[in-house]
Amino acid sequence: MTTDDNDTDIRLCRTFQTAPAAVPKDDSAKYLTSGLEADGFQAPDWLVPDLEDGTAPDMKAEGLENTIEQVPRYEFPGEIWPRVEWSYEDGTYREKGREQIDRLASAIGDEIEGVVVPKVGRLEDVRRAAEAVAEAEREHGYPDGSIGLSIIVETGRARSDLREIAKFGEDSRLTALVFGPVDYTAELGGRDLGDGRPRWDGLLEALSNEASAAGLLSIGGPFDDLFKERAGLTYYNAEEYADQIEHEARLGLDGSWSLYPKQTIQANTIHMPTPDELERDVHKIERFNEAKREGTGAVTIDGQMVDEATFKNFVNTVRTVRAIDERRPDQTGDYYDDELLERALELELSYA
Amino acid sequence: MTTDDNDTDIRLCRTFQTAPAAVPKDDSAKYLTSGLEADGFQAPDWLVPDLEDGTAPDMKAEGLENTIEQVPRYEFPGEIWPRVEWSYEDGTYREKGREQIDRLASAIGDEIEGVVVPKVGRLEDVRRAAEAVAEAEREHGYPDGSIGLSIIVETGRARSDLREIAKFGEDSRLTALVFGPVDYTAELGGRDLGDGRPRWDGLLEALSNEASAAGLLSIGGPFDDLFKERAGLTYYNAEEYADQIEHEARLGLDGSWSLYPKQTIQANTIHMPTPDELERDVHKIERFNEAKREGTGAVTIDGQMVDEATFKNFVNTVRTVRAIDERRPDQTGDYYDDELLERALELELSYA
Amino acid sequence: MTTDDNDTDIRLCRTFQTAPAAVPKDDSAKYLTSGLEADGFQAPDWLVPDLEDGTAPDMKAEGLENTIEQVPRYEFPGEIWPRVEWSYEDGTYREKGREQIDRLASAIGDEIEGVVVPKVGRLEDVRRAAEAVAEAEREHGYPDGSIGLSIIVETGRARSDLREIAKFGEDSRLTALVFGPVDYTAELGGRDLGDGRPRWDGLLEALSNEASAAGLLSIGGPFDDLFKERAGLTYYNAEEYADQIEHEARLGLDGSWSLYPKQTIQANTIHMPTPDELERDVHKIERFNEAKREGTGAVTIDGQMVDEATFKNFVNTVRTVRAIDERRPDQTGDYYDDELLERALELELSYA
């Protein structure tokens, strides 16, 4: 989690939804515009027009033009982060990436929060990607740092250098570390023996830690088993996606990848405190505030020993709700009952 | 585990019990003196008078005086390690910590083994904490290194620098790396979705490894769900605490945090080899010694392929029992039957 | 996994089978020659004549002579990698290791692919081991780099420096990182509370990652509970060994340690794609190739969203089968039905 003293400083990225920037349909921007138009829980916090693996090689130019044309036409409520091409091991992809970044900065530099660069390698390669963004900024007259950079961690090299990459990110335009499990599993030669890819728990824990230590966001990877089939019926795989997102939420990842509007609904929801969680933590804050007024440092509330460290966890819950409420009051209004939401918004959180 | 060639070099910290140094009761030192008086399995290996989160802000001065006054009045059988205030991100807490360290060194420098410093950040901050102890030592005429330092690993930064911090610890007063999961979870934004905080297994494994590589102790974090309620009855949560401690013991942590005398009984016990474990390993050592006399390098004992590497694990079991027996013969006498204990004490362990 | 653009560049080490180089039997080379003679699925990819823990101290000289005498007498189909003595903490073992390496290079330098060095410590110690091999090469006139080095990662120090060691390996004779869980558990003081040693999942994940990032092989550790007993019968523990090997395969380890011919059959088999896996991935490649011809970047196949990243995982499966087929056609012929194997061999894999 990346928080600051002020709720409004919490940067939301509960959902990182990629949409192919061009598909071979009559309306080649169909998925992109459907992402831009989404509302309520279907609207992702970050929409990622995908110029990389989601768009076929011979449609990438069209995908770039779609992005440039469509993004300014909508009042999208979240952030726009196009994903460009890149490769730590192949300079031709880096050249394409540089041109895409340049074109995006030139045409819609003030409509996007940054670009997402995939397949980065060791720290030097991440620096190189950051430099490509800096060049595009200078070239098109944007102030230094105004166009962000997020990277997909999906190579053995990027995982190996994760700590150093995140530390570099402390003082740079680097904004989010996003996991890319599919490429990552291919690089490591991981196997799916019929029960799915490994979860890579060590990596997820490190991603959450290094992002927190450096003030960056951490985002989980895509879940591609979109549909299941049983007894002749094909249906959306809601259970397994939710399991993955809950796992990521437990580990402190700020958000999750979505490939599909239904996934966006689920990830947006899971990365909000549940009503039970909010009720529980609001209650414990109220009780702990009373105890502090009586001069106690640690106190047992509902069987749990609570002190200032425990208190911080409860405060996280409330501050996350406040941050979402400020930007998506439709979602908090929908999800929590009025009385609970009001208690959460009015609660005294400082423990000084 | 931190061992040396000699059993008496095994430093015991099966239990790291914190006790608030002052509470708003008639006898404000109640919990502290109850820790100092504990005996048998209720006596922790390390008692930690807590001047930080366990003691309310306006009682910290009183907690410091309680510590200075009470500690010398008891013949506590283990080590005394007061926890002071600190913060990698707030100099005012570091200033308070420096004053507390200075006062402790001045008043009871020869009664304490060291101080516990919480909320450290990256390596530089740990160096700063070590320097604060060194200053207090010099100021009050103690030999260099006579007052130890243990740190709570509970920030993303400390986890990120754990390897470097432990390497620094090889040649310094650093003694133990203690996990602080509550603050840590708050820093990372981890969630409790109703089934508790994450266990942070990657961190625990790293803590055990880096401590071993640098000759330090590694200690697990507190378990705060002290009590459960069912069908109208509130009762001590013995099961879940024991599960956590067994998990920590498997991973090679030297000891566990205790918040409560019953937890101390359980952690002291779990961090002793069980009678079955001791019987099994004594038996295998006896059998392997026979095999070696016949000139074999590896041999199958009870279905297990045993060689010198396996042997070392059995030796760990026996040496741990010997170290505890030397310092807490009441506990080994209580826990093992006489004949087994005698075999463990008399067994030939060198395999030269 | 360590792959290159060409199937024939995939270095196979599905099985790392150690065999004591000398045992106190009439034929002291019995286990060694039985490894050298093995065929079919019983033949390991790597055979490791063991001069270290598997051979008793007073038989090591005889083990060395057995190795020198027996290895050249067989047309072993895989690679030969003797394990010598070493210790990061004891120079006398390093001296013995140097002498063993020298003698092996002198007598059978062109019959072995390299040597396995156990109990290495931090990076400096690995450099020291690499230098010992370089010296033996020079002394006996072998070209630089012709004798490889693989190390057993089994100390806290080697785990702590794993990233740096692997990076050193990128430009050196270092070939494989092999896990040694028994010594490792002893170093960390891990406990077997009746349900076995910890799996050390964090280490396994790091081993797979760092090996991939540096182009090295990663190999799992031995499983020593060879036999189980129930109702009076002692029988080979096939289930638990297979569970461990499948776990290692999922995480992308290239191979597994074997202590026993039956283990070699199982590890060779598990580190080949299963027939179901091969059928599934061949099918998805065929379907994805069609989709690409229609100009799509991502497509849903059997409920799974497939793009170029997913595709790489399927390609891994096929390329592994091809590499095994090239070197062990008896094994692929045995394991897959002819029609499936043919589809796998003829499939178009490039997605340019």
Q: Which residues pair with B256 in a beta bridge?
A: B15
| pLDDT at B4 (0 to 100) | 45
Name the DSSP class of C114. Answer: E
Q: Which of A341, A334, A324, A344 has its CA nearest to residue A10?
A: A324
What percentage of chain A has pLDDT greater than the value 70?
97
Kindly report each contact of residues C57-64 with a partner whose C-beta sits within 8 Å and lies 24 or more positions away, as own/partner.
C57/B297, C58/B295, C59/B295, C59/B297, C59/C22, C59/C23, C59/C24, C59/C28, C60/C21, C60/C22, C60/C85, C60/C96, C62/C21, C62/C22, C62/C28, C63/C20, C63/C21, C63/C22, C63/C28, C64/C21, C64/C100, C64/C103, C64/C104
C164 in B contact zone (CB under 8 Å): no
d(CA B304, CA B314): 13
pLDDT at residue A4, as a whole number: 45
State whether residue B252 sits within 8 Å of chain A by CB.
no
Mean pLDDT over B156-169 rounds to 98
pLDDT at A30: 97
What is residue C43's DSSP assignment? S
Distance between C221 CA and the closest CA of chain A, angstroms:
17
Q: Inter-chain contact C250–A20, Cβ cutoff 8 Å?
A: no
User: DSSP characters for A102-163?
Assistant: HHHHHHHTTT-SEEEE-S--SHHHHHHHHHHHHHHHHHTTPPTT-SEEEEEE-SHHHHHTHH
Distance between CA atoms of residues A95 and A102, nearest Å: 11
* pLDDT value at residue A329: 96
Helix H segments across chain C? 30-37, 60-70, 91-108, 123-139, 156-160, 162-170, 181-188, 201-214, 238-250, 261-270, 275-293, 308-327, 329-335, 338-346
Task: Considering only CA atoms, give the Rg of chain A.
Answer: 21
Do A259 and C305 count as a contact with CB atoms less than 8 A apart?
yes
Neighbours of chain C (3+ CB pairs under 8 A): A, B
Residues of chain C with pLDDT under 50: 1-5
A254 reaches B (C-beta below 8 A): yes
- Closest-CA distance of chain A to residue C16, Å: 18
Task: Give the span between the Cα atoms of C208 and C219, in whole angstroms.
Answer: 8
User: Which tokens sit at C265?
Assistant: 């059959």
- Identity of the amino acid at B31: Y
pLDDT confidence band for A8 (50 / 70 / 90):
low
pLDDT of A135-161, one tens digit each? 999 999 999 999 999 999 999 999 999
Which residue from A212, A214, A300 is facing B227, i.e. has the nearest CB?
A300
Question: Where in the sequence of chain A do the CATH 3.20.20.60 domains occur?
Answer: 7-270
Nearest CA in chain A to B186: A313
Tokens 């008639």, located at residue: B26
- Reported as half-sphere exposure (CB side, CA atoms, 13 A), residue C218 has a value of 30
In this predicted structure, what is the pLDDT of residue C295? 83
Instruction: Kindly list the partner chains of chain B, i.e. chains with 3 or more CB atom pairs below 8 Å.
Output: A, C
Which of B325, C312, C17 has the alpha carbon at shortest distance from A190? C312
Chain A residue with Cα closest to C254: A189
The per-residue pLDDT for range A68-88, each reduced to its tens digit, is 999 999 999 999 999 999 999
**Residues sharing a CB contact under 8 Å with residue A92, sequence separation 6 or more, in sequence order:** none
Question: For the domain with range A7-270, which CATH number is right: 3.20.20.60, 3.40.50.970, 3.40.50.2000, 3.30.110.60?
Answer: 3.20.20.60
Cβ atoms of residues C66 and C28 within 8 Å: yes
Query: Can you give the pLDDT at residue A161?
Result: 98
Cβ atoms of residues C320 and C272 within 8 Å: yes
What span, in angstroms and rounded, lies between the C-alpha atoms of B306 and C53? 10
Instruction: Indicate the pLDDT class of residue B1, thresholds 50, 70 and 90.
Output: very low
Write down the mean pLDDT value for chain A.
95
In angstroms, the CA B268 to CA B251 distance is: 16
Q: Which two tokens stand for residue A131?
A: 């430099």
Which pLDDT belongs to residue C7? Answer: 60
- In this prediction, residue B350 carries a pLDDT of 77
* pLDDT reported for residue C351: 57
pLDDT of residue C223: 97
Subunit partners of chain A (3 or more CB pairs within 8 A): B, C
Radius of gyration, alpha carbons of chain B: 21
Taking the Cβ of residue C190 and every Cβ of chain B, the question of whether any pair is shorter than 8 Å is answered with yes
- pLDDT, tens digit, 9 for 90 and up, residues B108-119: 999 999 999 999
* pLDDT at residue C350 in the model: 77
Q: Is the ipTM of this complex over 0.85?
A: yes
Reply yes or no on whether the pLDDT at A1 is more than 60.
no
How far is residue B178 from each of residues B155, B211, B273, C189, measured CA to CA in Å? Answer: 12, 10, 21, 16
